[in-house]
Amino acid sequence: MMDHEKIKQGVRLMLEGIGEDINREGLLETPDRIARMCEQIYGGLYEDPTVHLNKQFQAINNNIVIEKDITFYSVCEHHLLPFYGKAHVAYIPDSKVAGLSKLARTVEVFARRPQIQENMTAQIADALEKHLKPKGVMVMIEAEHMCMTMRGVQKPGSKTVTTIVRGVFAEDLSLQQTFLQMVK
């Protein structure tokens, strides 16, 4: 579980480190606010994302299932700045399907961790592959990174796109093209 006292100590040290007066009115409650915020934005560290994929239903066909435009926010592990965007998740069932909300919930749990986008993309695909055992999986994430917007290169509006292609999606380019057309 999260250690609120350590978080609050760290926030105070950071504020002092940048030259702020931690006793000024606007900053008095900031360490508490940040500790509570961490519960929300890093809560995925303490959740098992696969629990959402355990409830499955018998598939009556093996057509592509796509949940697109799943909005998310996450935090870059390098600078602890947000990145946010949309995830598009597809799979071709073998015999079981998950409820559509379960795909969005799985994305949400993985997003609520400090990480890089490439790993988040792979973790989502791994979870679907392991628990649904589909014929194929494809995950695409498009995100804007505040570490690219606010610091360094300072290029607001640029997006990073990551994909993972597994199973029949990797073997059949027409399936990849179908996915890409459907998520446009």
The token duo for 54 is 């355990």
pLDDT in tens, 46-77: 999 889 999 899 988 889 999 999 999 999 99
CATH number at residue 15: 1.10.286.10
pTM of the prediction? 0.93
Q: What is the DSSP letter of 26?
A: G
What residues are paired with 85 via a beta bridge?
A: 72, 143
Cβ 62 vs Cβ 93: under 8 Å = yes
Q: Classify residue 49: in a domain, yes or no.
A: no
Integer Cα distance of 40 and 45 in angstroms: 10
User: Do 61 and 127 fall within a single domain?
Assistant: yes
Question: Could you give the number of structural domains in the chain?
Answer: 2
Q: How many C-beta atoms surround the C-beta of residue 46 within 10 A?
A: 12
User: Do 86 and 164 fall within a single domain?
Assistant: yes
pLDDT in tens, 90-132: 999 999 999 889 999 999 999 999 999 999 999 999 999 999 9
Cβ 147 vs Cβ 76: under 8 Å = yes
pLDDT in tens, 150-178: 998 999 999 999 999 999 999 999 999 99
- Residues serving a catalytic function are 76-79, 117, 145, 147
User: Do 115 and 32 fall within a single domain?
Assistant: no
Q: How many C-beta atoms surround the C-beta of residue 157 within 10 A?
A: 7
CATH number at residue 77: 3.30.1130.10
pLDDT in tens, 82-91: 999 999 999 9
Write out the residue range of the structural domain in which residue 63 sits: 54-182
* Sequence ranges of the binding site for Zn(2+): 76, 79, 147
The token duo for 120 is 């988040």
